A and B are shown apart, each in its own frame.
Chain A
Amino acid sequence: ETGVTQTPRHLVMGMTNKKSLKCEQHLGHNAMYWYKQSAKKPLELMFVYSLEERVENNSVPSRFSPECPNSSHLFLHLHTLQPEDSALYLCASSDGLAGADTQYFGPGTRLTVL
């Protein structure tokens, strides 16, 4: 499964650290997404990019900062996180932004904030 890749797979960071999550899609898709997956909660959509433009920001705290330099790459920059930010962060891509497309997920980054 190499369609959508994410690095790193695991990340442990302190609350004062700055780190970045990386996502790359090899499917030729036009839209990319960041989701947060916590235990016993639904997948939470964080950000949506279509053709490198951010089209959705679901009231995510400013300590999460996305970047989409091109349609194949998506980053999530992290700074001064809180322990409650510990979760699995999933990247996804889809062919379009119609809202009626299959989401192709990456393997996720398991983030632990100490």
Chain B
Amino acid sequence: GENVEQHPSTLSVQEGDSAVIKCTYSDSASNYFPWYKQELGKRPQLIIDIRSNVGEKKDQRIAVTLNKTAKHFSLHITETQPEDSAVYFCAASSTSGTYKYIFGTGTRLKVLA
């Protein structure tokens, strides 16, 4: 069945450096790609999303890029701060046919002060 692969599973960066997390999806009908952040003991929360009609979206220090041909999308965090430490989940969703909203396995990001 359809799945979403996410890499790396863990990522450690120095404060101020950039972090990149990559996801690959298999369902070519996917057209919505959100990213969620889950801090320890808290609920997942949307931080940014992108739809298939654009290739890049940016919101302050966070950006997402999408390559529909290669079926992969990436989260970019610049100037990382300790409060960016969390688990990040990507997801791929389709608006056609059966309801699908498939999450990646998550990336644990540690920003070292």
- List A residues at the B interface (Cβ < 8 Å): 1, 4, 33, 40-43, 45, 48, 55-56, 90, 97-100, 102-103, 105-108
Contact = CB atoms under 8 A, between A and B. Distances in A.
Contacts, number: 52
A43 B103 contact: yes
Interface string B48-66: 0101000000000000000
Contacts of A97: 99
A48 to B, nearest CB: 6
Nearest to A45: B101
B94 A1 contact: no
A42 B104 contact: yes
A42 B89 contact: yes
A55 B46 CA distance: 23
A42 B43 contact: no
Interface in B22-64: 31-32, 34, 36, 42-46, 49, 51
Nearest to B34: A102
B5 to A, nearest CB: 10
Given A99-B93, A99-B95, A107-B43, A41 B32 contact: no
Chain A interface, >50% SS class: loop
Chain B interface, >50% SS class: strand
Contacts of B42: 107
Contacts of A1: 43
Contacts of B51: 100
B45 A99 contact: no
B44 A42 contact: no
Contacts of B101: 33, 45, 99, 103
B22 to A, nearest CB: 15
A94 to B, nearest CB: 9
A106 B43 contact: yes
16 contacts: A41-B105, A42-B89, A42-B105, A42-B106, A43-B103, A45-B102, A48-B99, A56-B99, A97-B99, A99-B94, A99-B95, A99-B99, A100-B32, A105-B44, A105-B45, A106-B43
